[in-house]
Amino acid sequence: MPFCMIGTRVSHYDIIKSLGAGGMGVVYEAEDTRLGRRVALKFLPPELGQDGPSLERFQREARAASALNHPNICTVHAIEQHDGQHFIVMELLDGESLATRLGRERFELPALFDAAIQIADALESAHAKGIVHRDIKPANVFVNARGQIKILDFGLAKIADQRGGRSFSSGELAGPKGPASDREETRIVAHDLTTPGTAMGTVSYMSPEQARGHLTDARTDLFSTGTLLYQMATGVLPFQGETQAVVFEAILNRDPVAITQINAALPAEFNRILGKALEKDRNLRYQTATDLKTDIVRLKRDLDSGRRSAAEATTAGSGAAKAAGASVAVLYFENLSGVKEDEYFRDGITEDIITELSKIKGLKIFPRASVLAYRDKSVTPQQVGRELHAAYVLGGSLRRAGNRLRITTQLMDATTDFPVWSERYDRELEDVFEVQDEIARKIAEALRITLSPQEREAIATKPTENLQAYDLFLRGKSYARRFTKQDQEFARQTFENATALDPNFALAYAAIANVCAQHYYRHGHDQIWLDRAKAAAEKAAELAPELPEVFVGQAWVMYAAGNQTDAIATVRKALARKADCEGAYFLLGRALFASGRYQEVVDMTDAAIEAAGGDYNIYVPLMNAAGALGKTALLQSLLLRRIQGLEAHLAEVPEDARARTQLAIGYASTGRLEDAKRETNLALVLRPNETTVLYNAACAFCTMKMKPEALDALKKAWESGFRDVEWARRDPDLAMLHGEPEFERLYPESPQ
């Protein structure tokens, strides 16, 4: 019989079209002429039809699946043979495989939970009959047009002897072949169906016991299901690598990146569930599919209940927070002036409103980093609420014209898109602090939160009495974030002008300490810059000793002077007072990495990324530490996220040469060498004498294996002021230069 069978009749089945083919079967759609229904026929390929082991495996799939009757398992109607052709008659499904779906998109939470519950329910039924699938993967999970899950392909299934607890492949059911072993037959290798000690299943979805070729049981399916759900939630696999050997090593030894690092909108409880499913020790893993299903059902119920409660509170007309701790996401206001130069002012006003609202204990306010992704994007309150799990969303617009300021604000219920409170302010520019104060108080009133006298006093406290000084401070912040010498020099001047207008402006003094300490660190160790930084930090501490930003300024002075231990302790004081204090995690990561405390850097990854938002700088110490510890899965995840962040940043700030060099490193690390060369060369054209650009260009050239170019760029970076021996010698991007005479001259190894 020909391999292509379209248009032929086999027994009482008219074959209509091909549905696909795999290593162990060719599938056709056919008409069952006896029962008048459409079915799927799975044929063993002709070249394997006479092969005993292949035929045995083919029949095993049918025998295992036919023993099951469950709405989430593809039904097997019959096993038949016609003119030497062996085939299975199966339920015809309308839809697509999960592999196809995942190639297009990741799952939103409601659909993800529904699918997860169905998969666990199907495995619960199979395991109850002693059948372990052992090859759960996207290609073996089908999603029909109604969103119903169907598990396919029990070709690797293992059937447990219910009487004595032993497990046999279905081919052994006619009679066991000797005593059980701690190894098991696992996959077809050439023509051996039962080759002991070999790995079975699809590598990326294997359990540790499968990777080792050990005995498998129901918990094996639960590990593979955890891998599958991780991919459905994040779009990436938990265990990655360029070769099977690397993937095996990750499955056996590496912890997956927390899903909340990849998608901050995912609930932390789901991360815990996946962590338990992906336990390497199966005695610590979920023991049954029932337990896994129960936890997912409970989480789904709790999330649905939270959304219903928010909706019911609004429907009742209370407009109030359902309990203490009502969550509010403050979106960046729309800049209606049409002048890009005014965006620093818009950003500063929005961030200060976030800070003011954060002083109210009855509110949970999402940090700047969480809402940064929505800046200048067209989004609805419902979308933001769903993705951040926020009960309310504050949006608005700002227009500045001369000395006049118009601010419109609207607080929306994120569940219903119903406005809870709105206001328009037409004021003189000098009234901006009163407007911020009033917005905070009005939101508290709208949510029926009573402010304490201390909270009222904190909200009413102004950063400065001088509006012009405030404007200069906001302008300087927007430049200081770029880290280049030219930008930070401009920022320093604006901060110093702000303190000249208001000698009691603590935030501005702290900002001066930051940029002067960074100038000393990056551009040649001229003592005058460290002295300026120390003086500014001391003045800031004198004016506001408990201000988080003041601690960061002090810590930068310590770090620049080489006092990493005190810098770490001081910046942690800032984070204890303000978890999203700008620049704090970046400095902490650098200081810890330079001290060789790599695990501490990795441990703070989730919190650091959450606090940093769109700040691409945070990834440098995190990636370096992950690489130093050999955490390849975490490193790969951070690399991809960093590339995405840099691409988005450069779309808005194309002149940022430093960002281009970091993007070049990312491109080179993922094999995009031409893109890497383009970005590196463009950065050097934009800022040929910028220290940080030269240093990062050296890293990019090393990643591209261009050693002479790397040494040349690194020498220029050294000449322009980068003299940090500890960082340069620990930086994994420069590892290929170790031992080169020029590198050893510039950054000699410290004597032991």
Which residue's entry shows tokens 């950063």?
A: 463
- Determine the pLDDT at residue 285: 93
Higher pLDDT, 403 or 60: 403
CATH class held by domain 96-172+194-299:
mainly alpha
Nearest to residue 467, comparing CAs of 345, 338, 368? Answer: 345
Q: What's the mean pLDDT in 373-393?
A: 85
- 403-417, 506-520, 663-677, range with the lowest pLDDT: 403-417
- Determine the pLDDT at residue 740: 92
Q: What's the mean pLDDT in 715-726?
A: 88
- Determine the pLDDT at residue 348: 84
- Determine the pLDDT at residue 178: 34
Beta strands 167-169 and 158-160, pairing class: antiparallel
C-alpha span between 323 and 518 (Å, rounded) = 44
With a cut of 90, say whether residue 414 has pLDDT above it. no
3-state secondary structure of 651: helix
- 212-216, 575-579, 651-655, range with the lowest pLDDT: 651-655
What's the pLDDT tens digit per position in 584-631? Answer: 999 999 999 989 999 999 999 888 887 876 678 888 899 989 988 988
3-state helix, strand, coil in the chain (%, to 5): 55, 15, 30
With a cut of 60, say whether residue 237 has pLDDT above it. yes
- Where in 320-432 does DSSP place strands (E)? 326-330, 334-335, 363-365, 392-401, 404-413, 419-428
What's the pLDDT tens digit per position in 503-546? Answer: 999 999 999 999 999 999 888 788 999 999 999 999 999 999 99
Could you tell me the maximum CA-CA distance found in the chain, to the nearest angstrom?
Answer: 97
Do the domains at 9-91 and 477-582 have one common CATH topology?
Answer: no
What's the pLDDT tens digit per position in 436-488? Answer: 888 888 888 888 788 888 888 888 888 888 888 988 998 888 888 777 778 88
CATH number of 326-460: 3.40.50.10610
Confirm or reject CATH 3.90.25.10 for domain 9-91, answering yes or no.
no
Higher pLDDT, 315 or 673: 673
Is 376 part of the annotated catalytic residue set?
A: no
- Determine the pLDDT at residue 338: 63
CATH number of 477-582: 1.25.40.10
C-alpha span between 661 and 720 (Å, rounded) = 17
What's the pLDDT tens digit per position in 16-59? Answer: 988 877 655 688 899 988 888 888 888 876 665 555 666 676 66
Q: Can you give the pTM of this predicted structure? A: 0.53
C-alpha span between 284 and 272 (Å, rounded) = 13
Q: Which two tokens stand for residue 77?
A: 């109607």
Three-state DSSP string of 253-304? HCCCCCHHHHCCCCCHHHHHHHHHHCCCCCCCCCCCHHHHHHHHHHHHHHHH
Categorize the per-residue pLDDT at 160 as very low, low, confident or very high, splitting at 50, 70 and 90: very low
With a cut of 50, say whether residue 143 has pLDDT above it. yes
- Determine the pLDDT at residue 714: 93
C-alpha span between 594 and 728 (Å, rounded) = 9
Domain boundaries, the chain: 9-91, 96-172+194-299, 326-460, 477-582
Beta strands 85-91 and 37-43, pairing class: antiparallel
C-alpha span between 62 and 87 (Å, rounded) = 9
Q: What's the mean pLDDT in 402-406?
A: 79
What's the pLDDT tens digit per position in 283-304? Answer: 889 999 998 998 998 888 877 7
pLDDT averaged over every residue in the chain? 82
Categorize the per-residue pLDDT at 315 as very low, low, confident or very high, splitting at 50, 70 and 90: very low
Q: Which two tokens stand for residue 305?
A: 């209940």
Higher pLDDT, 256 or 187: 256
Q: DSSP class of residue 192?
A: B
Indicate which residue of 32, 135, 724, 731 is catalytic.
Answer: 135
Categorize the per-residue pLDDT at 571 as very low, low, confident or very high, splitting at 50, 70 and 90: very high
C-alpha span between 461 and 711 (Å, rounded) = 52
Residue 308: exposure state from Cβ atoms within 10 A (0-12, 13-18, ≥19): exposed
Q: DSSP class of residue 375?
A: T
The half-sphere exposure of 353 on its side-chain side, counting CA atoms within 13 A, is: 30
Q: What's the mean pLDDT in 385-404?
A: 84
- Determine the pLDDT at residue 24: 57
Percent over 90 (pLDDT), the chain: 31
Cα distance from N-terminal residue to C-terminal residue, the chain:
77
With a cut of 70, say whether residue 321 has pLDDT above it. no
Residue 377: exposure state from Cβ atoms within 10 A (0-12, 13-18, ≥19): exposed
Q: Which two tokens stand for residue 737?
A: 């230069």
Cβ-contact 128, 122 below 8 angstroms: no
733: CB partners within 8 A, 6+ apart? 665, 698, 699, 700, 702, 703
Beta partners for residue 79, in sequence order: 88
- 330-344, 491-505, 672-686, 731-745, range with the lowest pLDDT: 330-344
Q: What's the mean pLDDT in 105-123?
A: 88
